[in-house]
Amino acid sequence: MGKNIIEFKVHPYAWQLTQARQDHANITNQPMMERPYWFENTETGQAYFDIVGCLGWPGEVGESDEGLPGYIAIMGIVRPSKEAEHISASDAKFQMLDEFESKDIPTMLKSCVRLRERYGFGIQPDLLRFFYGDPERFQTTIGLFNERTFVAIGKEKDSVLIAPPDDFYAPKVFDVYVRAIRSVLEPTGLRLYFGNCNILKNRIREFHRDDPAVMAVGGMVQSLLNRSLWMAEVGSNVFTVDEKNERS
């Protein structure tokens, strides 16, 4: 497995801070609040409210067309540094951290495991627990892959899970996802940064309908924009019992 470059950080007064944020949210009638924990990249020092992943299966094979490669991406929701100008957590920017493309399904599944291990899978229960994507294609291949993984390491929670993003089953979903990506690339409201991830950048520029890369990232962005999934609902328990016990 790849080396983990992500650390889990918790505010020293997490419980008091959580109560203060809940009180403020209730007074100002806000449904969401910033969590008292975050994640930090040990190589760059960059901090994230959350880290998410997505997957787009390869395009369908035609008579004279092998289809576009499948695509995997890891994205961080950037938490501003103390020195940076304050930005509300709900307006956080998105940073592409890593990506991969292939036409081979087992290779893609192995890369899902490799990438999630590199970006902190397991250091916090919800981090990279699943990838946004189509859960219905290649079910047999995914099932066999997860079965072999379980036999090898004996941990069912390490299975590769795929969850549909928001609006995945809506008509003309590609149009919805293209608009979601374009909305965060507008010069006046730029929120999505490519970093060193050129695959997505080039695929957007080439623009093929139903491109797996655009579908994958577009679905993930659509889900994040709709529900601010990197934040906690006011009144919710932002820690699991396991996390609480680890710190007590």
Identity of the residue numbered 206: E
Confidence of residue 33 (pLDDT cuts 50, 70, 90): confident
Structural domains of the chain in order of their starting residue, each with its CATH number: 6-247 (3.30.420)
- 4-18, 80-94, 116-130, 208-222: which has the minimum mean pLDDT? 80-94
The Cα 39–Cα 51 span in angstroms is: 8
172 vs 84, which has greater pLDDT? 172
Quote the tokens at residue 168.
């995945």
pLDDT, tens only, 175-233: 999 999 999 999 988 999 999 999 999 999 999 999 999 999 999 999 999 999 999 88
Percent of the chain with pLDDT over 70: 88
Question: Is-contact 65 29, C-beta < 8 A?
Answer: no
Q: What is the pLDDT of residue 118?
A: 97
Per-chain mean pLDDT for the chain? 88
Question: Is-contact 35 49, C-beta < 8 A?
Answer: yes
Buried (b) or exposed (e) across 91-118, using 16+ Cβ within 10 A? Answer: ebebbbbbbbbbbebeebbbbbbebbbb
Identity of the residue numbered 52: V
Which position has the token pair 């379980």?
150
Nearest to 92 by CA among 77, 105, 82, 81: 77
- 13 CB contacts (<8 Å, ≥6 apart)? none
Q: What is the pLDDT of residue 20?
A: 86
Q: What is the pTM of this model?
A: 0.90
- 103 CB contacts (<8 Å, ≥6 apart)? 58, 66, 67, 69, 70
26 vs 199, which has greater pLDDT? 199
- Decide if pLDDT at 243 tops 50: no
